Structure 1
Amino acid sequence: MDDAYDEECDYLFKAVLIGDSGVGKSNLLSRFAKDEFRLDSKPTIGVEFAYRNIKVRDKLIKAQIWDTAGQERFRAITSSYYRGAMGALLVYDITRRSSYENLRKWLLELRDFGGQDMVVILVGNKSDLDQSREVEKEEGKGFAEKEGFCFMETSALKNMNVEEVFLQMITKVYDITRQRSLEAKMNEKEINILSGKEIHVGVDEVTTTKQAICCST
């Protein structure tokens, strides 16, 4: 993608996919970025990433999604890639209880290396394998509610809720970013008024943004 096209984007957001090896992070990213799924997908080594431009409200956003390796031996490499990330999909495999039980370990790492206001969505992947389920949907939903996250089950294979979960994360990041920009403008206005300067702020700039609705499909 050339620089001229990059300049047309209103925002660049970085997000990460985290969770145990084999939960389907790479295929979730591949499905979202290229609408592809690989049955022979191999474990990610280190970190990989993909871009996709999407429209949120009336803005064009370039989403830069990083796929982190789940293997323990790569943790020292990937921890630095949390820096600057504004969103994260915390992924487990509904057919592998150990990947669900390890969520707290991933959450601890996320809080150690990620930003305080990072948008986190809990994702129970491989929902097409319901007959092999080891983690009930209500368990995932309960964990997410306790931590204050949104929750969704997905299937990269069947392309179920993949688009929705990424868009939900990116929309929430956009809303937070726009709200911060609004607050900064209002603070600047107050400072300018106190210093005797007069500025004009358009009505659309002081409109509170709507918050994205959490989906627990």
Structure 2
Amino acid sequence: MATAPYNYSYIFKYIIIGDMGVGKSCLLHQFTEKKIMADCPHTIGVEFGTRIIEVSGQKIKLQIWDTAGQERFRAVTRSYYRGAAGALMVYDITRRSTYNHLSSWLTDARNLTNPNTVIILIGNKADLEAQRDVSYEEAKQFAEENGLLFLEASAKTGENVEDAFLEAAKKIYQNIQDGSLDLNAAESGVQHKPSAPQGGRLTSEPQPQREGCGC
């Protein structure tokens, strides 16, 4: 049986962080499966999902680590921050406490990831407008003050879920194009996979960047 070549050019590692119960697993499930998780169990440690997307004509495989929000798992989940190209930092727009804890999550993200890690702030449960406890304007200001991308989303309706993952990927890809992200650095969170020849096979090891003419 022939081995199908890789049909993507890059792998980006993502992490999803935030308090317990903000809907991190539901966002991941909605993005990877395009389905609603009616009952989102609390994550123990970490969970994992993948999906191939397209940015600027390039196929990119997202490897997404969904981390537990409970304090007792922080020591375990912190080890997954290293080498993340993107971080989705999630709060619940109906629970102010989850918004108030963002500074702590952001500190972890900044301390444990590389300086070029793209962090996007996501206000989940946008479908529960009547129960809103955190205004869009307040969260947008927090994001701007901390240099974060920002949007509100709903894992239940699917609103902006696709955009959340795509916007982070676009920014990471832009960082690759302008040279601010070094693909040869182990902590970049990005692996480059040149297209395999027909019938060829690629290993899962990061490939070195090739620049200029090879003649």
Q: Would you call these one fold, judging by a TM-score over 0.5?
A: yes
Q: Aligned-pair distance for 1:58?
A: 1.5
CA contact (8 A) 2:30 2:37 kept: no
> Which whole-Å deviations, capped at 9, do the CAs of 1:106-128 have from their partners, x for residues lacking one?
01111121111110111100010
Query: Partners in 1 of 2:182 and 2:86 — Cα distance?
Result: 21
Aligned length: 185
Change (3 A) 1:20 1:3: farther
RMSD of aligned alpha carbons: 2.0
Question: Match for residue 114 of structure 2?
Answer: 115
Residue 99 of structure 2 aligns to which amino acid in structure 1? Answer: Y
Higher relative contact order (CA 8 A, sep 6+): 2
Structure 1: gaps of 5 or more residues: 185-198, 202-217
Query: How far is the alpha carbon of 1:175 from its aligned partner?
Result: 1.1
Distance 1:3 1:127, change over 3 A: farther
SS at match of 1:83: coil
1:12-60 per-residue CA deviation (whole Å, 9 max, x = no partner) reads 0001110000000000000001101112110001011101001111211
d(CA) in 2 for partners of 1:150, 1:65:
18
Structure 1 183/133 Cα, relative in aligned 2: closer, same or farther at 3 Å?
A: closer
The percentage of counterpart residues that share the same residue type is 50
Greater Rg over alpha carbons, structure: 1
Q: Partners in 2 of 1:50 and 1:3 — Cα distance?
A: 22
Counting helix residues as a fraction of each chain, which structure ranks higher? 1
Distance 1:66 1:45 in 2: 12
The 5 Å alignment of 1:149-188 reads 149-180=148-179
Separation of aligned partners in 1, 2:122 and 2:181: 31
In the alignment, is the contact (CA less than 8 A) between 2:90 and 2:123 conserved in 1?
A: yes
Tell me how far apart the structure 2 counterparts of residues 100 and 57 of structure 1 sit (CA, whole Å).
33
**Equivalent in the alignment of 1:85:** 84
* Displacement of 1:94: 0.3
Distance 1:175 1:45 in 2: 34
